[in-house]
């Protein structure tokens, strides 16, 4: 079973899983069009594998239970999530419902129906989270570790950074802005991000799932962080244009919940090597079962009461490393600065060569 099977990561996971010839693959997705597209693609090239498109919301327990009762999936890759950082700042309750409560529902059913493996796709934004999205994914990791103490299923989480070309990522946004004549918008000239291609990220998620014994949070080697400004400049050059002359670049300011740089390790944790050179295990302390139960109960109450302020407070209360905004005051854009100060030399990304 792959949840979020129509998304950028979910659909690539499905394509790569197909190479291992499973008897049956369940495509779980609530967006009808994206489910139709991935099912049509796979059906046109593979005939020996049973491919079932299942429209379902992972937060709908009766529907998900019915799927488990009907098909008893052995391995679950959980890629369904709300992932857009600024959007989740204004949709706090939905982030909690989808990224946390629904993850608990899905994971619990996997354990009840004796699935062998459950792999949560997580994010570097779960490290020292400042955003609702990042904090909700950190709690999802905690949920997975707690479930691993309860059921015989092997539950693991896999953290990685931004994926080049995924829906909502900077590459397609920059491409559209360049085609429209600019300006290309960058939040801050100092902002850096880890980047990985969709196929590479999906391959490493599969590797981590195979390596896990249960309870691990795997961290992928994302290489060196990349300055988003350099990426924007490179994309303009690759379009045959000159940055700041043919296409302007404007700085809009860091948005609420965003960081200037992302982290893949929590301060003080040790990374343990695995058999794969790009997959590591983060030695991260687990929460007690009673703590997890208390936390989820408090979040559920806040969701039921539609209390977004309470939700923000709860993240900071239960996650010692979190610093989530407690108010709705927007972050002010940075002052306009001379562009020459931020003009960079052609970067070492190798994009031109590729």
Reported confidence tier of residue 168, pLDDT bands at 50, 70, 90: low
pLDDT in tens, 12-28: 999 999 989 999 999 99
The helix/strand/coil state of 265 is: coil
Judged by average pLDDT, the poorest of 29-33, 78-82, 149-153, 185-189 is 185-189
> Is it the case that residue 87 has pLDDT exceeding 60?
yes
Q: Which of 97, 125, 256, 259 is catalytic?
A: 125
Reported confidence tier of residue 350, pLDDT bands at 50, 70, 90: very low
For the entire predicted model, the pTM comes to 0.79
Q: What confidence score (pLDDT) does residue 326 get?
A: 66
**Which residue from 271, 24, 289, 16 is spatially nearest to 143, judged by alpha carbons?**
289
Q: What confidence score (pLDDT) does residue 91 get?
A: 94
Measured between alpha carbons, how far is 85 from 293 in angstroms, rounded to an integer? 26
Measured between alpha carbons, how far is 119 from 103 in angstroms, rounded to an integer? 11
Pick the most confident of 31-35, 204-208, 328-332: 31-35
pLDDT in tens, 186-231: 888 877 776 677 888 888 888 888 888 899 888 877 667 778 888 8
> Is it the case that residue 3 has pLDDT exceeding 90?
yes
Pairing relation of β-strands 24-29 and 2-3? parallel
pLDDT in tens, 52-63: 999 999 999 999
Q: What confidence score (pLDDT) does residue 278 get?
A: 72
CB 123 within 8 A of CB 159: yes
Q: What confidence score (pLDDT) does residue 313 get?
A: 93
> Is it the case that residue 342 has pLDDT exceeding 50?
no
Q: Is 310 marked active-site?
A: no
Pairing relation of β-strands 217-220 and 154-159? parallel
Q: What confidence score (pLDDT) does residue 165 get?
A: 54
Q: Domains along the chain?
A: 57-342 (3.40.50.720)
**Which residue from 269, 200, 186, 277 is spatially nearest to 232, judged by alpha carbons?**
186
- Cα 147 to Cα 54, 61, 105, 109, distances in angstroms: 25, 17, 11, 10
Task: Kindly state the average pLDDT of the residues 91-111.
Answer: 97
> Is it the case that residue 346 has pLDDT exceeding 80?
no
Reported confidence tier of residue 147, pLDDT bands at 50, 70, 90: very high
Q: How many CA atoms lie within 13 A of 239 on its CB side?
A: 22
């Amino acid at each position: 079973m792959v949840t979020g099977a129509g998304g950028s990561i979910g659909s690539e996971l499905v394509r790569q899983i197909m190479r291992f010839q499973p008897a049956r693959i369940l495509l779980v997705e609530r967006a009808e069009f994206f489910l139709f597209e991935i099912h049509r693609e796979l059906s046109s090239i593979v005939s020996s594998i049973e491919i079932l498109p299942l429209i379902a919301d992972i937060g709908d327990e009766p529907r998900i239970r019915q799927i488990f009762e009907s098909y008893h999936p052995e391995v679950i890759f959980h890629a369904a999530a709300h992932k857009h950082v600024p959007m989740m700042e204004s949709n706090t309750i939905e982030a909690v419902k989808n990224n946390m409560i629904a993850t608990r529902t899905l994971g619990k059913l996997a354990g009840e129906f004796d699935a062998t493996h459950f792999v949560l796709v997580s994010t570097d934004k779960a490290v020292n989270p400042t955003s609702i999205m990042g904090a909700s994914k950190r709690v999802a990791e905690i949920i997975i570790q707690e479930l691993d103490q309860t059921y015989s299923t092997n539950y693991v989480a896999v953290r990685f950074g931004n994926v080049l070309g995924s829906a909502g990522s900077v590459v397609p946004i920059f491409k559209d802005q360049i085609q429209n004549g600019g300006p290309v918008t960058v939040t801050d000239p100092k902002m850096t991000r880890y980047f990985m291609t969709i196929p590479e990220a999906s391959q490493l998620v599969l590797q981590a799932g195979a390596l896990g014994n249960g309870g691990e949070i795997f961290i992928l080697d994302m290489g060196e962080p990349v300055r988003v400004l350099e990426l924007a400049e490179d994309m303009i050059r690759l379009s045959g244009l000159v940055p700041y002359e043919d296409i302007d670049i404007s700085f809009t300011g860091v948005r609420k919940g965003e960081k200037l740089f992302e982290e893949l390790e929590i301060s003080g944790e040790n990374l343990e090597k695995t058999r794969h050179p790009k997959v590591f295990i983060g030695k991260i302390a687990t929460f007690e079962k009673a703590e997890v139960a208390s936390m989820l109960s408090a979040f559920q109450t806040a969701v039921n009461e539609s209390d977004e302020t309470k939700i923000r407070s709860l993240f900071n209360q239960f996650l010692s490393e979190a610093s989530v905004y407690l108010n709705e005051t927007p972050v002010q854009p940075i002052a306009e600065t001379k562009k020459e100060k931020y003009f960079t030399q052609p970067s070492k990304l190798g994009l031109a060569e590729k």
